[in-house]
Amino acid sequence: MASLGNPKNTIEILNKYSFVFQKKFGQNFLIDNHVLEKIVRAADITKDDFVLEIGPGIGTLTQYLCEHARKVLAVEIDKKLIPILEETLADYDNVSILNEDILKVDIVSIIKEYNDNKPVKVVANLPYYITTPIIMDLFESHVPLSGVTIMIQKEVADRIKALPGSKDYGALSLAVQYYAKPHIAANVPPNCFMPRPKVGSAVINLTPHENPPYHVENVSLLFSLIRASFNQRRKTLVNGIYNYEGLSFSKEDIIDALDSLEIPNDIRGEALSLEQFVRISNYLSKYIHS
Ligand code: SAM
């Protein structure tokens, strides 16, 4: 099968099946071989790897993955794409296709079933309407991961890798950096896709931490504190946490925590590092137990 990274071949197969793009599924197919090569290189795939691809579309990236990996499991929500994938991937015997919604399947059980619970690499040109839930799901459900290389909206990639003090820094930066080290591998313009998205894209590599970077007493408290701090961005951290519905600390407790860590009382969440959030969270966790 000729490479679908060549737009002529993509158009041909789409016409053959009278395929109509579904906006609701975030369908923007890659039509650039250089970008496909960059993704595979950034993911550092070898013949030892089991790759989970989310949203294979017509199989453009999947073909590359099959060439480089030991085994590929591709999960696609749109049933109209399944017969197309059967044709475009017919040359490969190391691929399985699941017609499922990635947010509804139990990824951990799938990995157990298909890869004996061994670590997998996730590689995908993600549907942009559900980028954040997919990323958080992979990490929070403790899927065994050895790498995540995904095409996402450039603006989201910038938020993920942002550090304290930057305008892009927020709950998403902290949540992802708690689990992994982000690195932007490539910026990708709209003309590399069919149809063209309205926004720029980026390939981001998330390397999961082998061990958690900090000891956290209560992870769900840490995440609530982070959400509370960025819920009202212009408020101080004390007011953000105090006003947050899911938390019930007194102002005194919060100020106490900041004082003990020598953090100014008027600080805003956007100025705090992950380590500082962890220390505040560990300090406040004792008020939850008592
Ligand atoms: N990988 C292909 C490529 O690079 O050309 C297609 C990428 S396109 C941006 C996203 C793909 O994800 C589409 O094929 C879409 O149908 C699929 N998709 C959207 N929502 C999904 C979901 N919840 N679960 C699984 N696949 C989904």
User: What pLDDT was estimated at residue 232?
Assistant: 80
In this predicted structure, the answer to whether residue 2 has a pLDDT above a threshold of 80 is: no
Please give the share of the chain, as a percent, with pLDDT higher than 70. 99
Q: Report the predicted TM-score, pTM, of the whole model to 2 decimal places.
A: 0.94
Domain boundaries, the chain: 7-208, 219-289
Rounded Cα distance, 122 and 136, in Å: 13
- Ligand 1 within 6 A of 86 CB? no
From ligand 1's centre to the CA of 132, what distance in Å?
14
Rounded Cα distance, 38 and 138, in Å: 23
User: What pLDDT was estimated at residue 234?
Assistant: 81
User: What pLDDT was estimated at residue 252?
Assistant: 95
Which residues are CB-contacts of 214 (< 8 A; sequence separation ≥ 6)?
Answer: 274, 275, 278
Tokens of 55: 């949203």
Rounded Cα distance, 282 and 165, in Å: 23
The atom of ligand 1 lying closest to the CA of 62 is: 1
Alpha helices in the chain (DSSP H): 7-16, 33-43, 60-68, 82-88, 107-115, 131-140, 154-161, 171-179, 219-231, 237-243, 251-260, 274-289
Rounded Cα distance, 236 and 242, in Å: 10
Rounded Cα distance, 255 and 2, in Å: 64
From ligand 1's centre to the CA of 266, what distance in Å?
44
Provide mean pLDDT across the span 108-121.
95
User: What pLDDT was estimated at residue 289?
Assistant: 56
From ligand 1's centre to the CA of 125, what distance in Å?
7
- Ligand 1 within 6 A of 101 CB? yes
Tell which one of 25, 80, 101 to mutate to probe ligand 1, the residue whose CB is within 8 A of the most ligand atoms: 25
User: What pLDDT was estimated at residue 146?
Assistant: 96
Fold agreement between 7-208 and 219-289 = no
Q: What architecture is the 7-208 domain classified under in CATH? A: 3-Layer(aba) Sandwich (3.40)
In CATH, what number does 219-289 get? 1.10.8.100
Beta bridge partner(s), residue 150: 124, 204
- Ligand 1 within 6 A of 25 CB? yes
- Ligand 1 within 6 A of 131 CB? no
Question: Would you say 277 and 174 are in contact if contact means Cβ atoms under 8 Å apart?
Answer: yes
From ligand 1's centre to the CA of 258, what distance in Å?
44
From ligand 1's centre to the CA of 28, what distance in Å?
8
Which residues are CB-contacts of 146 (< 8 A; sequence separation ≥ 6)?
Answer: 49, 119, 120, 121, 208
From ligand 1's centre to the CA of 269, what distance in Å?
34
Q: Tell me: the pLDDT tens digits for 20-55? A: 999 999 999 999 999 999 999 999 999 999 999 999
In this predicted model, which residue has the larger pLDDT, 122 or 235? 122
Q: Tell me: the pLDDT tens digits for 62-95? A: 999 999 999 999 999 999 999 999 999 999 999 9
The atom of ligand 1 lying closest to the CA of 124 is: 1
Rounded Cα distance, 228 and 162, in Å: 18
Average per-residue pLDDT for the chain: 95
